[in-house]
Chains A and B, each alone.
Chain A
Amino acid sequence: MSIINFIIYLLTMIGIYSLLAMSLNFQVGFTGLINFGQVAFFCIGAYTSSLLVVNAGVPVVVAFLAAMALSGIFGYIMSIPTKSLKSDYWAIATLASGEIVRLVALNEAWLTAGPFGVMGIPQILKDLISKDAYPVFYLLFVVVCIIMVYFFLGMLANSPFGRNLKAIRDEEELCLSLGKDTQKLKLQAMIVAGMVGGLAGALFAFYITFISPENFKPIETFLMWAMIIVGGRGNFKGAIIGAVVIQLFNVSTRFLGNYVPLGSDSMAALRMMIIGVLIILFLLYRPEGLIKEKKKIYD
């Protein structure tokens, strides 16, 4: 792989994970919903879009929208137990829901081809763009998606809706006492976050053109968390910067494996160790992350 191609690959993966980190930040940083099953949205988005195109011949645009819709619905389902579970118990439950989605993908082979994964996912607009320019084209496509999501989520976060979410995060009982239906608000937040996660999944599937349950292990959720811990919560710039930092470590150490005489197993272990240390350092010395939540000032 040439260095240019590698950099484009790295940037594209950073972009896709930025979306996942923004979605997670919307839940954790704004609504205070501790979701350890974020990878579920990623998985559902990837499988829904690719299966619809590969098996059912649905147009790609429809497949993307369906991926977002189904992930949004899954967000709705995930939000239901927030009614009866306290936030820490709900967090454990989300860990399970992430795994359940992956295990369904692994075991319902009639639909998902099980461990073999979905192969032959077509590249979007492949015929119109030359092979050399394609990686750049896809990177631009991802960037456009990020800009749109950044814009929409920012608009939501700055609206009365976003204000209600922040109040749930900080003082849920107060929200109730002011007549806010906090359950409904959480539900809406989870749908929005699910849709963004689903979009990331679809972008991922059509980028690497082959997905399997291996891509959606709990470690992915861990990486997304690392991104918002390092980047900072309660703002979307932080999520993007976090995605840059963590993906740089995650992807480039994989690439560096070719040059460092350590063997790929030790490199993989080392990679996770470095990210783990990074998280600890941030929690100790900069718990708010690289970018602090911005205060909303009225004149």
Chain B
Amino acid sequence: MWLDDELVGEELALFEAWVLGQPEHLAAREETRRWRSMIASALPASEEPPYPDFFNTRIAQAIRDQTPKATVAPEKRRFSWQAILMPLAACAGMVLAFWVGTKSQPKVEIDVAGAPRAIPVEQIIYTPESGVKAELIASQDASAMVIVLDGVRAIPDSTDFSETTYVPVGREFDSTASVETAISDLEAP
């Protein structure tokens, strides 16, 4: 401790008196002082951190962030008859208003005899071609309906139905068809 100048008071005085006759101890102390002086001259004991103001601000912010915010305790609800009676009174009022409403409205009598009635109408089947007679046969039991056309000319065998139907050409084919079918369709004249 004496080497590092940590002795004080009476201890220091006693030791100093003794060490006067010990040159190697005195030299060691000087050596230690020289050493500490060299280290202290090269390495700073204090060095302001970069952006010192920001340094402080960040610490203050961190402290504020971790401080629990004062929460307002929910006010304890006291039991009150008013809290129960008010909804009951509201419900009773609504029922009463409904009842009064039904009692105050005049009764409307519906005259069933004077109401318009459905008139049975014969079914008419329209045919665009004159001379053709159409007859409708409907069977509820069979859940079927047949229309018989009398007077329609016979359809000749030479009639080309393809003229009345749409046949896709070129690339207009179903994308789900197989590749072979699609190619054969394209190759067909």
Q: A and B from one assembly?
A: no
- A residues engaging B (CB < 8 A)? none
- B residues engaging A (CB < 8 A)? none
